[in-house]
Amino acid sequence: MYAIVEIAGQQFKVEKDQELFVHRLEGKEGSKVNFDNVLMTVDGSKIEVGAPAVKGVSVSAKIVEHLKGDKVIVFKKKRRKGYKVKNGHRQYLSKIQIESIGASKGTAKKAEPKAEETKAEAKPKAEKAAPKASTEKKAETAKKETKPKAEKKPAAKKPAAKKEATKKEDK
């Protein structure tokens, strides 16, 4: 069994007893952490995909240690300009070990009744909203019919005669 989990803004494929490095997590070494944002779980041929997260599933892990990653050198240069910049960076990381992937305690039981209640409440609301929409449409069409259309004014004649007269005078 494995799961796709979002941890500290990144997605990881995790399995039980797997150790991985993630961005620094809050908590002391040896403390336990739960991740509720599980995007997908796979158990044999059974696949659950969340929208956006799978409800009632969490991943528990233990923080093994806090450490710093390898140094990364960033060197910038523009040739023939005398411009050189050298910077280094070491990322703060946490090493975690996945302990279990499974249903979180109590959340699965609470989620099911809420879903049934919202479905029952949603039907009457939809029925009430429909008559309002039809009356609004009738009111809009009545307004359109009662408004008189603006009459178009005849377009002003262009002074073509003046242009011809000026051309004759130039000759």
pLDDT (0 to 100) of residue 112: 46
Segments forming the whole domain that contains residue 52: 2-76+83-104
- Phi and psi at residue 51, to the nearest 5°: -135, 80
List pLDDT tens digits, range 42-71: 999 999 999 999 999 999 999 999 999 999
Rg (CA), the chain: 35
Does 60 reside within a domain? yes
Q: Is residue 166 part of a domain?
A: no
Range 27-32 average pLDDT: 95
Whether residue 106 has pLDDT greater than 60: no
Cα gap 109→59, rounded to integer Å: 18
In terms of pTM, does the model score above 0.75?
A: no
User: Residue 165: inside a domain, yes or no?
Assistant: no
- Answer whether 38's CB lies under 8 Å from 12's CB: no
- 118: part of which helix (H) or strand (E)? helix 107-146
Count of domains for the chain: 1
Query: For residues 40 and 48, is the Cβ–Cβ distance under 8 A?
Result: yes
pLDDT tens sequence across 118-168: 555 555 555 555 555 556 666 666 666 665 556 666 666 666 555 565 666
Q: Is residue 115 part of a domain?
A: no
DSSP 62-90: EEEEEEE---EEEEEEETTTTEEEEEEE-
Q: What confidence score (pLDDT) does residue 37 get?
A: 95
Query: Does residue 88 lie in a domain region?
Result: yes
- As a whole number of angstroms, the distance between CA 52 and CA 33 comes to 21
